[in-house]
Structure 1
Amino acid sequence: MASYDHKKIEKKWQKEWEKSEIYKTPDEQKSKDNFYALVEFPYPSGNLHTGHWYAFSVPDIFTRKKRMEGKNVLFPIGFDAFGLPAENAAIQRGLSPKKWTYENMDYMRKQIKSIGASFDWSREVITADPEYYKWTQWIFLKFFEKGLAYQAETPVNWCPKDKTVLANEQVVGGHCERCGTEVIQKNMKQWLLKITDYAEKLLEGLEKLNWKDEIKEAQRNWIGKSEGAEIEFEIKDNKSKIKIFTTRPDTLFGATYMVLAPEHPFIENHKSQVTNYKEVEKYINQAKKKTQLQRQKEEKEKTGIELKSIKAINPANNEEISVWVADYVFSGYGTGAIMAVPAHDERDFGFAKKFKLPVKHVIAWESGSKREREERRDGGCAVIFDHQKQKYAFGKTPEGILDLFGGGVGNEDLTRGIKREIEEESGLHDFVSEELLDEALVHYFNYKKKVPRLARATCLLLVLGSDKLGKIAQEDHEDYKILWLDPEEAISYWEERNKDSDYTHWIRFLKRGVNWLVMAGIDTTNKLYPEPTVHTGKGILVNSGKFDGMDSENAKWKIIKFVSGKKAIQYRLRDWVVSRQRYWGAPIPIIHCTKDGAAAAPEKDLPVLLPEIKDYKPYDDGKSPLAKAGKWLKVKCPKCGGEAERETDTLDTFVDSSWYFLRYCDPINKKEFASSAKMKTWMPVDLYSGGAEHTTMHLLYSRFWFKAMFDLGLIPKELGDEPYKERRNRGIILGPDGQKMSKSKGNVVDPDEYVAKFGADTVRMYLAFIGPYNEVGSYPWNPQAILGIRRFLDRVWKIASPRSSTLGVFEDSTPSVLPRGDSARLLNKTINKVGDDIEEFHFNTAISALMMLLNEMEKAGVSSENFSVFLKLLAPFAPHLAEELWSKLGNKNSIHFELWPEYNPKLIEETTFELIVQINGKVRDKFEVPADILEAEATHLTLEREKVKLALENKKPRRIIFIPKRLISLVL
């Protein structure tokens, strides 16, 4: 047999597969269960890149195995053909977007077929075809009829260069991801879909899905459900009220200021009462220039301005609090106003520190181990810092116990009492600044008085102006020596002695104190601890009036009632903006009439076709290029018959891709988007493989779209309201330099170059071998590793070359039974391993198993029968080579419809294992023993080992522990 000519073999079989329509899938096949495997269809950019190969060729391994398992597999392909790049390219090249797109598709079809993927091209779907977007428009109108689609003025991200609205995800670092132009925020009339009406259903649906936790968690976080309360704050000397939403009503007594979003209507409505309105207006105008993503990104660098002369009244304690405007609060979330509790929220704390606003602790966290007969003794302590020494002060007793200075304060003013205790114990008194740092409910054992105690412990943060000492008035049990230490010295001391958590509160107090001082630039020698600077969790209420002593959860709902608030649920999810101010998209089938408003285009007129126009450039004011299509634009109102105009915005491409999987079931149906019978045949999708970047956009949008269709009766009830049984995300392929591929970096890998040099099967297997496919990761392209895969396929070809009258390096010239001994065991283990790994998308380890089997075949020889088994295992990975060698074995039918090999369960069981010998917990020996060895025999063999005898030193083990198939432990 000649050398392995991948070009000839791959061309031959691709032509044969296409001619015989081997992968064309009937809706039903006798005695076969249907299986629907889906990959995200590509955008016709004009050239197939490495990402496409990774997206298509690797899941193809899984679908090929499913076919060999006897499934009737639907594995369709199409093109997500609308979109801005086509329009931009058309403007640059003087072509129509349609011509550019369809020429690209013609070229990409050839490229995709070169992969050798088993796609059913007879079901191809193209979203830009009128027969497809007719049904996109039809479904949109059904949503419109039910109020799920509506038009409203809304703030949007606007790209001044592309002159279109961008989704948040299309804005990177404040710039358009496509052209790099700085994005601005502006209000525009847009079409939206009420995805927020489905927030709860989208969350509930996740509970039923057998998806990876990280995918479900990403969608939960994106939807962002928050349960809390709406509470109204009265405005002093004003009849107005400002409503806030909070998830922490238990912290209401700690609200020391309020913050409004720059867009909040209260500001405009009460500008005459704001004495610094000019400055406020300037701040608001600056905020409007930022996108929401920019505002989120800049959140660490807090900005804001007070509404001078405006005061809100905290409804819990009737205290006046200041009102601020800050761009870290958004009008689209909650009510656009927040109560700020800096003692228990990191963001509020940062803002309060910057603008020197009050911090009030109202939640004490619990620390220590509860003991019987605890004695209650409230008190306080302090983290004391000398900024000249850059050291912290601690007290050390004669017994060597290290303390924070402080003590019981009784009914005395808390701050005054703690400072008095410190001066009496240490003499330190020259404090130039003080902060209430933290509060905790502490269970501890007082080693000086030998009693268990429960204390509400308040901790101050004190900075010394000098270390001069005042009068010391220590009690009998107090004989302190001042130690000036770095914080780590004290923390290490406490952590070593923290058996019963008696020092947990001091460790936490100290870390928080260090963080405050580092953030303030006072402590210049230490670094921030990962410890939160403020307590954001639950605990026991303090400084909260009649609610003191209650735990957070119980107090939460009682406080809501106390201030006449009401329970509420909010979602981070916003309604989906589907308008795009560009030409190349599905026209929105709406007609605008001055008398009747927005009306649905008559169903008989669908599809509303994209008109041919000469100028695709959008208007500067945000109008779509379709506004230039005068003849197309002017229509009669379907309601009154008067003069009207068509909607000129087009639909977001995510709308097109929200239902394409349904059209694959019935792609040429002219009467319905898909028949009920065809949907019942194939839906829901059994496995959907795609990119992790689509988890919170396409994947969420299509789930919403399907659920809405289900509720409208457009989806058979038997199918339920979830479109995908299983979703698996893939990683990304990086350039050889380990960075994301980019033309500007010169690290783009052209797969066509590697296919020409090494073959499609080599590239397929390399991509499958590069790393676990179902784990989101990044894998650099390695030219050396691809050579290793090619060498493996060369060896497969070589072992199949004739050496005698038979094909391959065989044991004999006739088909034999499975090989005996180790070879038989390895073959059966490989069948088991490869099958299981393909199911789990662990293609890399499956290939490793095939390589090990090939090594054994090269050493021991292999029969025709067992080489056939090997080819079946190889077929999903290298379909062209496997088909060629299968044919050379004299088989007439395709290997890809052969049955997947079965293994003998008895032959995959291990007959021996390595017994580990431990003596007093240390490994002293290892040796092979039969897998079914009993404890008595294992003990006997172990005690006879020379290494064991030496380690025992003539001592008899007190105890012997035997763990079957693992170890034997001897305890002296």
Structure 2
Amino acid sequence: MTEVTPSTPFDPRAIERRWQQVWLEERSWEVSNSQPADKRAYVLEMLPYTSGEPHVGHLKNYSVGDAVAHFLRRQGYYVLHPMGFDAFGLPAENHAIRTHKHPRISTDESIASFREQFRQWGVSIDWTREISTHQPSYYRWTQWIFLQLYKHNLAYRKRSAVNWCPQDATVLANEQVVDGHCERCGSLVELKQLEQWFFRITDYAERLLRDLDGLDWPEHVKTMQRAWIGRSEGAGVTFKVAEQPREIRVFTTRPDTLYGVTFLALSPEHPDLDKLTEGTPQEAAVREYVNAARRAGHAERGNDDRPKTGVFTGRHAVHPLTEQKIPIVVADYVLMEYGTGAIMGVPAHDERDYQLARAIDLPIRPVIALDGGDTPELPFSGRGTAVNSGEFDGTPSREAASAITERLAGLGQGESVVSYKLRDWLLSRQRYWGCPIPIVYCDGCGLVPVPEEELPVHLPDIEDYAPKGKSPLAAAEDWVRTSCPKCGGEARRETDTMDTFVDSSWYYLRYCDPDNDSAPFSQEAMRAWMPVDQYIGGVEHAILHLLYSRFLVKALADFGHLPVQEPFGKLFTQGMITKDGAKMSKSKGNVVSPRTIIEKYGADTARCYVLFMGPPEQGADWSDEGLEGVHRFFRRVWRYTDEITGTGAEVIGRAEDPERDLALRRRTAWAINKVTEDMSGKFAFNTAIAALMTLSNDCSKALQDGIRRETVTEAVSTLASLLLPFAPHLASEVYHRLTGKQVWKEPWPVADESLLQTETIELIVQVNAKTRGRVSVPAGASEDDIRKTVRATSLIQREVGDRTVKRIIVVPGRLVNVLVG
């Protein structure tokens, strides 16, 4: 074949700028709320934190979402694909501290950088719906949502032991503590007693758990949420304190062991502990023990291998059935966030209780025997038959559990209970950069909500916003001083701000109606788009953001504001991109900058490569060689386009061959079928792109051997059409050069069924995992027949030579890999 010099140099950046301008001018990706109901689709990626510049993790997340959006549009859907910025909270404020700028300035700069790069990447966003959580027009409605929860007794304030990050100088929700450390900065978390605001998410525990079954979400995400909600069935038991008019409530899943209780153990954070020990000889020892326990992380205290310790409080509880006095101890393995922060100690039948009893010399009383009557080795946590249990002796464990619970209920000291590990959502933050809580404090009226018509409560500009252990807003005296909405007297504003997860728990609703200034959203907009059809983001938000969003939607639906019970119909969680086997970080010097990649290769190469690295739900390690490979693929597609458009000849190459034409048409139909299958309800982008690379090789061979211009034009334009979700700029350019049409406006290709029906199939042949050619085999051939056919080909005989064939691996319908040595 005569070598053709490309008439147009391949300039990815010029191609990208040209089509980005076209999309901007014709407003290609904008949709209205009045589109036909059966043809609407809402595709959404989790919005980014504004804490610097985008990284390749962002590139992957938004490339995944954009591929889905393009595919759906080409199938006739009007796709809502908006963008916004999670601009309040610790990530943005810490970025401001690092850059020595006011958060408002650093946040706006970060948003500008994200916006610029999203446009450079060519992400098909409806920018008319852009929101940012730090704008008063947005956080006005975050405050409105707070007031709705407050009005319905789902927002409340109480003094509580809270997780305190000394580095960030603020409280953390339980979900933001990982192995006893702050998930953001890694500092060891401490415990403090503070007045804090909470959302009563525990009221929704059962519904949050039950409704997981109906969600089209990855099973591992649903498993994580089920574990976090932590449903347990058992009994609530009330123990009276012998020396005080006080009661201690415990929850147990084993009421059948109640007669084996020889002590009660309280968490160091138990709210009654100070009053219990006050005035006892043990008061000082308990205080010293509690302080030491609070300095230890929760993960350390909950470690099963850690020696169990505890101290006597000086008080006793009265056993509800035997009326015996049993000691009350404080033990650091009892954590306040589980159950009631108090447990009944049954050392004969619980390993941790057994260790503590041995350590501080407490009685051990076995009350469960093996079914044959033998005494088991202690501690024994299994089921059996009740012994040493009064009238319940000889009763099987499960029957004894029910009978003992009934007896407690008759005494008014217990009942059957369903308990949850889930705790209420702690939302107070002692930081500046956040949404103000719309509450004022009046000496006469007490706690008073700000009237809805006075929203938003604006976040004031202050110069000294550094964390101080209390909210920096407290120093803004002119802002703090206000008048009471009830009596008009002097009042003080709440100076804590909201957790940023409040902002991000409802943003997807605002996208549907971003310009509404009389409500956060209209019912019409909600009916038009909600729930989100496809949600995309990192699995690290499986508990925090996703659980909070589900709670908020259910609450707003209960209040009559939403017509749906779940925010996200389908969920996809993408894997992390690593470099040299490690998570990317500046300190490790292994950060890959999207800007650098785009400057050298263009946005399409970057987008396509992050989708080609492997199954997108899995992690993958960055490879510069892999990036180069995708770029070479694009250059080949560009060269074919030049060869086709550079000649008017009916036949390109050496000579026409009808069989060759039919073969390329079959390969084109196969590629359509393969890519469509990989995109339909799946996220198999890597195998879809591999199919397009295969079609590219088919086109190359056909051009070398000779092919009708019409046939190869159809093949390459189809390749471009199928490439649009992954490389929209190159796809648009090639398709336009070959057809004169704008590919994003064309229907998705449909394979000619007759071309898919063939008596033979073509398989890739590899030798030691390196492609060496192709082989045709009967469509229904067995794996053994395929091995024999491949072994007999001259290609394999030539490649193998004197070496030994160790194994021939057949991947049905795709390839044969001959392993030689």
Do both proteins adopt the same fold according to a TM-score greater than 0.5, normalized to the shorter chain?
yes
AA of the residue aligned to 1:16: V
Per the TM alignment, residue 29 of structure 1 is displaced from its structure 2 partner at its CA by 3.9
Higher mean alpha-carbon deviation, 300-309 vs 105-114, is at: 300-309
Aligned residue among 797, 811, 831 for 2:672: 831
Distance 1:363 1:34 in 2: 61
Aligned residue among 327, 346, 350 for 2:332: 327
TM-score (norm 1): 0.72
Per the TM alignment, residue 672 of structure 1 is displaced from its structure 2 partner at its CA by 1.6
Contact preservation (8 Å) 1:816, 1:865: no
Distance 2:174 2:336 in 1: 15
Distance 2:451 2:674 in 1: 58
**Which residue of 2 is the match for residue 561 of structure 1?**
406
Contact preservation (8 Å) 1:273, 1:309: no
Per the TM alignment, residue 879 of structure 1 is displaced from its structure 2 partner at its CA by 0.7
**Which residue of 1 is the match for residue 597 of structure 2?**
754
**Which residue of 2 is the match for residue 338 of structure 1?**
343
1:327–1:152 CA distance, 2 compared to 1 (3 A): same
1:834–1:360 CA distance, 2 compared to 1 (3 A): farther
Q: What SS does the corresponding residue of 1:122 show, helix, strand or coil?
A: helix
AA of the residue aligned to 1:336: G
Distance 1:180 1:17 in 2: 43
Aligned residue among 487, 493, 512 for 1:665: 512
Q: What SS does the corresponding residue of 1:568 show, helix, strand or coil?
A: strand
Aligned residue among 631, 641, 644 for 1:800: 641
Distance 1:358 1:815 in 2: 95
Aligned residue among 284, 293, 299 for 1:287: 293
AA of the residue aligned to 1:581: Q
**Which residue of 1 is the match for residue 631 of structure 2?**
790
Per the TM alignment, residue 277 of structure 1 is displaced from its structure 2 partner at its CA by 3.7
Contact preservation (8 Å) 1:314, 1:321: yes
Contact preservation (8 Å) 1:810, 1:863: no
Distance 1:814 1:28 in 2: 54
Distance 1:14 1:326 in 2: 63
Contact preservation (8 Å) 2:146, 2:155: yes
Contact preservation (8 Å) 2:43, 2:535: yes
1:96–1:929 CA distance, 2 compared to 1 (3 A): closer
Per the TM alignment, residue 673 of structure 1 is displaced from its structure 2 partner at its CA by 1.1
**Structure 1 residues 15-30: aligned runs within 5 Å:** 15-29=21-35
Aligned residue among 440, 447, 452 for 1:591: 440
AA of the residue aligned to 2:63: S
**Which residue of 1 is the match for residue 769 of structure 2?**
none
Per the TM alignment, residue 885 of structure 1 is displaced from its structure 2 partner at its CA by 0.4
Contact preservation (8 Å) 2:99, 2:106: no
Determine whether 1:689 maps to 2:536.
yes
Contact preservation (8 Å) 1:80, 1:656: yes
**Which residue of 2 is the match for residue 866 of structure 1?**
715
1:166–1:264 CA distance, 2 compared to 1 (3 A): closer
Per the TM alignment, residue 175 of structure 1 is displaced from its structure 2 partner at its CA by 4.5
Contact preservation (8 Å) 1:579, 1:651: yes
Which ranges of structure 1 fall in alignment gaps of 5 or more residues?
Answer: 365-438, 442-454, 462-533, 915-926, 942-964, 966-972
Contact preservation (8 Å) 2:300, 2:306: no
**Structure 1 residues 150-549: aligned runs within 5 Å:** 150-172=156-178, 174-233=180-239, 241-264=247-270, 267-271=273-277, 275-296=281-302, 298-307=303-312, 310=315, 312=317, 314-315=319-320, 321-352=326-357, 354-355=359-360, 362-363=367-368, 439=370, 441=371, 455-456=372-373, 458=375, 536-541=381-386, 544=389, 546-547=391-392
Per the TM alignment, residue 629 of structure 1 is displaced from its structure 2 partner at its CA by 2.2
AA of the residue aligned to 2:576: I
1:237–1:24 CA distance, 2 compared to 1 (3 A): closer
Contact preservation (8 Å) 2:408, 2:415: no
Per the TM alignment, residue 343 of structure 1 is displaced from its structure 2 partner at its CA by 4.6
Per the TM alignment, residue 178 of structure 1 is displaced from its structure 2 partner at its CA by 4.3
Which ranges of structure 2 fall in alignment gaps of 5 or more residues?
Answer: 1-6, 704-710, 763-774, 789-812, 814-821
Higher mean alpha-carbon deviation, 635-644 vs 20-29, is at: 20-29
1:778–1:546 CA distance, 2 compared to 1 (3 A): farther
> RMSD of the TM alignment (CA)?
3.5
**Which residue of 2 is the match for residue 519 of structure 1?**
none
Contact preservation (8 Å) 2:188, 2:297: no
Determine whether 1:850 maps to 2:689.
no
1:637–1:682 CA distance, 2 compared to 1 (3 A): same
**Which residue of 2 is the match for residue 495 of structure 1?**
none
AA of the residue aligned to 2:420: Y
**Which residue of 1 is the match for residue 137 of structure 2?**
131
Distance 2:104 2:649 in 1: 53
Aligned residue among 82, 95, 100 for 2:101: 95
**Which residue of 1 is the match for residue 582 of structure 2?**
739
Distance 1:168 1:308 in 2: 27
AA of the residue aligned to 2:540: E
1:268–1:71 CA distance, 2 compared to 1 (3 A): same
1:734–1:361 CA distance, 2 compared to 1 (3 A): farther
Contact preservation (8 Å) 1:227, 1:569: yes
Q: What SS does the corresponding residue of 1:192 show, helix, strand or coil?
A: strand
**Which residue of 1 is the match for residue 479 of structure 2?**
632
Higher mean alpha-carbon deviation, 148-157 vs 814-823, is at: 814-823
1:816–1:891 CA distance, 2 compared to 1 (3 A): farther
Determine whether 1:723 maps to 2:567.
yes
1:7–1:611 CA distance, 2 compared to 1 (3 A): same
Higher mean alpha-carbon deviation, 121-130 vs 299-308, is at: 299-308
1:642–1:29 CA distance, 2 compared to 1 (3 A): closer
Distance 2:297 2:781 in 1: 69
Distance 1:665 1:755 in 2: 32
Q: What SS does the corresponding residue of 1:726 show, helix, strand or coil?
A: strand
Per the TM alignment, residue 746 of structure 1 is displaced from its structure 2 partner at its CA by 1.3
Post-superposition Cα deviations, 1:506-558, rounded to whole Å, max 9, x if no partner, equal: xxxxxxxxxxxxxxxxxxxxxxxxxxxx6545455556555455444333211
Determine whether 1:41 maps to 2:29.
no
**Which residue of 1 is the match for residue 83 of structure 2?**
77
Higher mean alpha-carbon deviation, 42-51 vs 226-235, is at: 226-235
Determine whether 1:895 maps to 2:737.
no
Distance 1:697 1:816 in 2: 61
Q: What SS does the corresponding residue of 2:457 show, helix, strand or coil?
A: coil
1:912–1:346 CA distance, 2 compared to 1 (3 A): farther
AA of the residue aligned to 1:732: M
Task: Tell me which structure has the larger Cα radius of gyration.
Answer: 1
Distance 2:260 2:699 in 1: 74
Post-superposition Cα deviations, 1:540-581, rounded to whole Å, max 9, x if no partner, equal: 555655545544433321121234431112221111121122
Contact preservation (8 Å) 2:637, 2:716: no
Post-superposition Cα deviations, 1:692-748, rounded to whole Å, max 9, x if no partner, equal: 1111111111111111111111113xxx2111111111111112x211111111111
Contact preservation (8 Å) 2:308, 2:352: no
AA of the residue aligned to 1:554: E
Q: What SS does the corresponding residue of 2:632 show, helix, strand or coil?
A: helix
Identity %: 45
**Which residue of 2 is the match for residue 578 of structure 1?**
427
Equivalent residues, number:
758
**Which residue of 1 is the match for residue 682 of structure 2?**
840
Per the TM alignment, residue 810 of structure 1 is displaced from its structure 2 partner at its CA by 6.7
Distance 1:334 1:208 in 2: 28
Per the TM alignment, residue 299 of structure 1 is displaced from its structure 2 partner at its CA by 4.9
Structure (1/2) with the larger helix percentage: 2
Contact preservation (8 Å) 1:812, 1:863: no
Post-superposition Cα deviations, 1:188-233, rounded to whole Å, max 9, x if no partner, equal: 1112111111112212221221222211121111111222101234
Q: What SS does the corresponding residue of 1:142 show, helix, strand or coil?
A: helix
TM-score (norm 2): 0.85
